[in-house]
Amino acid sequence: MAAASSPATGAAGDPTKGGQLFGSSGCTACHGSNLEGGIGPKLNPIQNLGNTKDPLDPTYLTNTITNGLQGVGGFSTAMPAKGGNPNLSAQDISDIVAFIIQSNKSGQAGLGPQELARSDVFWVSIAILLMVMVTWVLSRYNMRWIDRRAAARRERERTR
């Protein structure tokens, strides 16, 4: 029994089942668990490899997963047919296609490990910079306060 076309994705297939298949069929090895890419291209937001106008076209995605792909987008490794999993049925591929399309249309792109690490380093660097600046401002204030107290003490001793 084929799944009906989902209005949210425009592809025939179950995106929930497709997400499970994406994880269990080995797709994450190349495309990452959050579709962030790695050995293979990013799938959320989907990376256009230059061989199609619309990389989210269900027919394009189905053909790419079914037949594999090589020699495009500057990737040195080829996408094997069915992602190297000969047990994927046509319905499984439709479900994975629906999952990829839904992930892109939901607008929620997960941060991959590299982006997450860069973000962490950026914010930790900003925090350290701010702490250094606050320390410098407080030390300047403290030195002025010490100078004023010393000047006041010298003034008192001079007036005695």
How confident is the model at residue 149, as a pLDDT? 94
CATH superfamily to which 15-109 belongs: Cytochrome c-like domain (1.10.760.10)
pTM, 2 dp = 0.63
Residue range 40-53: mean pLDDT, rounded? 88
Task: Label residue 45 by pLDDT band (50, 70, 90).
Answer: confident
Q: pLDDT per residue over 1-26, tens digit each? A: 444 444 444 568 999 999 999 999 99
Tokens of 109: 């792109």
Q: pLDDT per residue over 64-115, tens digit each? A: 999 998 888 788 788 899 988 999 999 999 999 999 999 888 766 555 667 7
How confident is the model at residue 4, as a pLDDT? 47
What is the C-alpha to C-alpha distance for residues 118 and 114, in angstroms, rounded to an integer? Answer: 6
How confident is the model at residue 2, as a pLDDT? 44
Q: Which residues of 102-136 are buried (b: 16+ CB within 10 A; e: fewer)?
A: bbbeeeebeebeeeeeeeeeeeeeeeeeeeeeeee
How confident is the model at residue 3, as a pLDDT? 45
What is the C-alpha to C-alpha distance for residues 68 and 61, in angstroms, rounded to an integer? Answer: 10
Structural domain spans, the chain: 15-109, 111-160
pLDDT averaged over every residue in the chain:
86
Task: Give strand pairing partners of 69.
Answer: 79
Q: pLDDT per residue over 118-135, tens digit each? A: 888 888 999 999 999 999
